[in-house]
A and B are shown apart, each in its own frame.
Chain A
Amino acid sequence: MFPSNNTETGDEQLVEAIRKNDQEAFRDLYYKYFEKLIRFAWYRLHSIETSRDLVQELFFRVWKKREGLNPQKSIKAYLYKSLNNLIINHFKLSSSQTSSLITLDERKTKMEEAQDIVIDIQTAINHLPEKLKTVFIHSRTEGFKYAEIAEICNISVKAVEKRMSKAFVLLKKYLD
């Protein structure tokens, strides 16, 4: 599932050790990635609180499922993908990314139209389709290069280029 186009050295050994219950290695993995991951979560959530909690949840689960880890595959991609899922779940469970349903006593209108109202650029980015949004955030806010983004998202560099183009097209529409 995740090709080992690793942009990181040493990860294979870390994962190998973690599988064998090596807590020191797990700690090293944590220190290596946690800040980047929190940063990524923050740009999606804009809450340091939630970001820290989700990243903690992420690593907790990684430790719990350590026996199933595959050293041949990119742990970095695995971490980002799992974190992304946690973030998506968080959004699903909380009212919404911008604002949620308003119902009048008279039961007038639904709020779907409101979702088309884009108030600011953060909202515009948030309205990007999931795949484009992730790639764009990795590039714009975290400054990852295409090769790294390709690894994290488990796609080819060409696909990264395509998604960036599409993101720009949509953002242009929002800003006009």
Chain B
Amino acid sequence: MNDNDIKKLCIKAVSENISTAEKQLFDKCLAESEENRNKFEEIKTIWAATTPDNIPELQDADSEWNLLSERIRLSEKEEKKITISKRFFNFNRLLFTLKWKPALAGSIIIVLSIFAVILFTSKKESQLKTVSTANQEHKSVQLPDGSTAYLNYLSSIAFVDEFDEDIRSIKLNGEAFFSVVKESRPFIVSTNNAKVTVLGTEFNVWARDEKTRVVVKEGKVNLGQKSGKGIELSEGELSTITTNLNPAQPEKVDAQYLLGWMDQKLVFSKSSLDEVASELERYYSVKIIIEDNRLIKKSLTGTFKNSKIEGVLEMICLTMELEFEFQDENYLIKSNK
């Protein structure tokens, strides 16, 4: 039994892949030498160190399935429309290639006008439009009233291509930033468990996981459950609705900053070090002190998607030839020269 084979047995043992026959062999190996026992200890340590995180509660199967089958249904509806209009186009081409005979002229005109009527009346019917984004895709969507929706990745909105007379209605799943043209018709964004009503304003809606969270950039919005009064949010305010509960008390936030936060990213664009530090303080709820005043001028551009503050600080320090230290509940940043 060479080293490699012994290692494989150790791994099989910790991962519960070891057969009874192998177990006997394994126990023998362990009894044989201290070296083998040490190997096993090492493997056990690694196994213990890699204990998986607890996975949060999953959505239930039924609602996941509903989302999927809805998506499939909508996409098949889209395809049918395309097929029908293709067929119509081909038929039209066929008509025009018929030799023009006076006898036929009359009947052709009748046929054409019937088609024209059908086409005309079907156009009157509003069609449902759905726009969705894929992984890491952003999309800007023009809405029928001139408003725009800017979609984050893996989101979708649905709306009729000609808004109703007395209401502008959008369905949202995922995240989008809305810039709404001011009008007397209310603009309503519906999510799975809430609705946001505005007249004209800029706001961000995040609707996933049984929660709807709204941040207002400009103007005022009304956030409520599907039915019921709801609360009013003004510029710079945030509130969240969880299914079947009332919206939370509005809190004052820095809307611009939180728009990046919704992406689960920390985004810095030519930010000075102290600006970066303030944002890290807010994001991680820590206190950061920059020891050297000259460092404050340094400028950073970057994006972080790291779950630990130490990692982010390490990255920053590495690039800027700084170092950090944790002392008395504060992170100190200083030059390492």
Contacts and interface: CB of A to CB of B under 8 A. Distances in A.
Q: Do A and B bind each other?
A: yes
Interface of A: 23, 27, 30-31, 34-35, 38-39, 42-43, 46-50, 52-57, 59-60, 63-64, 86, 89-90, 93-105, 108-109, 111, 113-114, 117, 119-123, 125, 136, 139-141, 143, 145-146, 161, 164-165, 168, 171-172, 175
Contact of A108 (B12, B136, B306, B319): B319
A175 B307 contact: no
Residue in B67, B71, B308, B311 with the greatest tally of chain A CB atoms within 10 Å: B311
Interface string B277-293: 00000000000000000
B15 A35 contact: no
Given A27-B69, A53-B135, A123-B311, 13 more contacts: A30-B61, A31-B61, A43-B55, A52-B64, A99-B303, A99-B306, A102-B302, A117-B315, A140-B47, A143-B16, A161-B11, A172-B46, A175-B45
Contact of A114 (B135, B270, B319): B319
A55 B64 CA distance: 10
B310 interface: yes
Q: How large is the interface on B (under 10, 10 to 19, 20 to 34, 35 or more residues)?
A: 35 or more
A165 B315 contact: no
A95 B61 contact: no
B245 to A, nearest CB: 20
A143 B106 CA distance: 76
Interface string B67-80: 11101100100000
Interface string B41-82: 011011101101101101101001101110110010000000
B271 to A, nearest CB: 11
A13 to B, nearest CB: 20
A141 B61 CA distance: 21
Contacts of A34: 61, 64-65
A93 to B, nearest CB: 3
Contact of B53 (A53, A119, A122): A122
A121 B46 CA distance: 10
Given A98-B306, A102-B315, A102-B316, A56 B52 contact: no
Given A27-B65, A93-B136, A139-B15, A99 B302 contact: yes
A98 B311 contact: yes
A39 B46 contact: no
Given A30-B65, A46-B53, A105-B299, A94 B305 contact: yes
A176 to B, nearest CB: 10
A54 B135 contact: yes
Contacts, number: 162
A165 B7 contact: yes
Nearest to A117: B314
A146 B16 CA distance: 9
A66 to B, nearest CB: 11
A171 B306 CA distance: 20
B7 A168 contact: yes
B58 A57 contact: no
A103 B300 CA distance: 6
A64 B78 CA distance: 13
B318 A60 contact: no
Nearest to A93: B136
Interface of B: 4, 7-8, 11-12, 15-17, 42-43, 45-47, 49-50, 52-53, 55-56, 58-59, 61, 64-65, 67-69, 71-72, 75, 134-136, 154, 208-209, 264-265, 270, 298-308, 310-312, 314-316, 318-320
Given A49-B208, A140-B50, A165-B4, A96 B305 contact: yes
A114 B318 CA distance: 7
Nearest to B134: A57
A60 B12 CA distance: 37
A35 B63 CA distance: 13
Nearest to B136: A93
A104 B299 contact: yes
6 contacts: A23-B69, A56-B68, A113-B318, A140-B15, A140-B50, A164-B11
Contacts of B47: 140
Nearest to A146: B17
A165 B7 CA distance: 7
Contacts of A165: 4, 7-8, 11
Contacts of B315: 99, 102, 111, 114, 117
A106 to B, nearest CB: 9
Contacts of B299: 104-105
B302 A52 contact: no
Contact of B135 (A90, A103, A123): A90
Given A49-B209, A56-B71, A99-B315, A39 B55 contact: yes
B302 A100 contact: yes
A57 B135 contact: yes
